[in-house]
Amino acid sequence: MATETTKLPEGTDTIIAGASKTTTTTTATPYAESTQVDVIQAEPTPKEKAVAKVKEGRDKIATEAAGKARGVVGDGLLKGSDAIGSVAKLVNDTAPGLDDNLGTEYGDYARKAATYLDDTAQKLAAKDPDELIDDTREFVRKSPGIALAGAAIIGFALARLVSSGLDAEKNR
């Protein structure tokens, strides 16, 4: 036997105009009957609507930013790979000159370095941006001091580049 009751939110004694009604049904167990309960849900307040819109916008912006970051990292991987490949080619091209001028062992060092650089360039080109980001996070977790020192060096180099660019612009 099913019973139907209307249950109001605690602390209220009347139904609020504009409130929506949702019906919840529980299934019967061997020891209880199936019951149906009406639950009253009030319309969201303007504040709740605004908060929901802000959260929705935040999530959309975060998703777009993550996509753009992956794109930038992917472009950086390709450019970095190309640059390392170019350096490998340059080092390999200088090896015969080193053979002639300094000896074959120095030329062999240059060829080994070129091979290593070329392998690194190929590995870098094959990496997925998410994989590189995960590798970077893992490196920072394992070696926070080295990561911090590297960030400081990169920051110093960028500051010098910007400063020299501004100085060159002033001298024009």
Q: How far is CA 120 from CA 49, 77, 85, 150, in A?
A: 52, 11, 8, 20
**pLDDT at residue 138, as a whole number:** 92
Distance between terminal CA atoms of the chain? 92
Q: Give the torsion sign (CA, 93, 95, 99, 104).
A: negative
Local mean pLDDT, 10-residue blocks, the chain (172 residues): 55 57 51 58 81 88 84 83 88 87 86 89 84 86 89 87 74 67
**pLDDT at residue 141, as a whole number:** 93
**pLDDT at residue 1, as a whole number:** 46
Domain ranges of the chain: 4-43, 45-127
What strands lie across the sheet with 4-7, from one edge to the other?
A: 4-7, 35-41, 20-26
**pLDDT at residue 8, as a whole number:** 58
Task: Look up the pTM and report it.
Answer: 0.46
